[in-house]
Structure 1
Amino acid sequence: MDEYAWPSGPEVPAADLVRKSWHATIAALPVEARITGEVIGRQRFGVFIRIDGVPYAIGLAEVTAMPLGMDLPALGAFVSGEVIWHVAHNHQVKVRLDG
């Protein structure tokens, strides 16, 4: 198995549901909100997160928003952090991970 993987499988919400729920996602996860979730995708630039309590939200924690020296979390890892931005064009919640 490749160490990098795009989000896929039954735990990943369908793109149309993510898009339709975008305004509710922003309301539920304002900037500075604390989040927890599971890593559902992993790329060299960061990890995709299924955010607990917001079923149609996809978080992205880029390596530039991780503590210095932190290893890229593995698929299935549980992480926590803070919302730092909302990216409307691809309906992602940007997250800064805790150390």
Structure 2
Amino acid sequence: MPEFSWPDRSLMPTPDDREQSWPATVSALPLGSRVSGRVIGRRPFGVFLLLDGVPNAVGLAEITAMPHPMELPALGATVVGEVIWHADHNLQVKIRLDEWHLPG
């Protein structure tokens, strides 16, 4: 497994699906709400997540919003955190992580 990877496009909702679902995503995930999801991509700046229970929602947990001195969670890891922002320009839910578990 490479250290860093972009999300596999087969795991990602289509851009059209994300755009059509965005108002429902923002409504379902208000700031401060608790979320869980699965890591589908790792970059030096953070991890991309598929969020549980919210169809077509993609999360991003940036490294600046992770506990210190934790390392980036692995691909497939289950993560838990808090919604801290809705990035309308790229249809991402920004997440502050507080725990994660290895796949398996």
Class of the TM-score when normalised by the shorter of the 2 chains = over 0.9
- The separation in 2 between residues aligned to 1:62 and 1:14, in whole angstroms, is 22
Aligned-residue offset at 1:98:
0.5
The TM-score normalised by the length of structure 2 is 0.91
Aligned pairs, number: 99
Give the equivalent residue in structure 2 for 1:90.
Answer: 90
> Which 4+ runs in 1 deviate beyond 2 A?
none
Equivalent positions of 1:19-98 (< 5 A) are 19-98=19-98
Identical residues among aligned pairs (%): 59
2:7 aligned with 1:10: no
Gaps of 5+ in 1: none
The TM-score normalised by the length of structure 1 is 0.95
- The separation in 2 between residues aligned to 1:40 and 1:19, in whole angstroms, is 19
Q: Residue 18 of structure 1 aligns to which amino acid in structure 2?
A: R
Give the equivalent residue in structure 1 for 2:102.
Answer: none
- The separation in 1 between residues aligned to 2:15 and 2:3, in whole angstroms, is 24
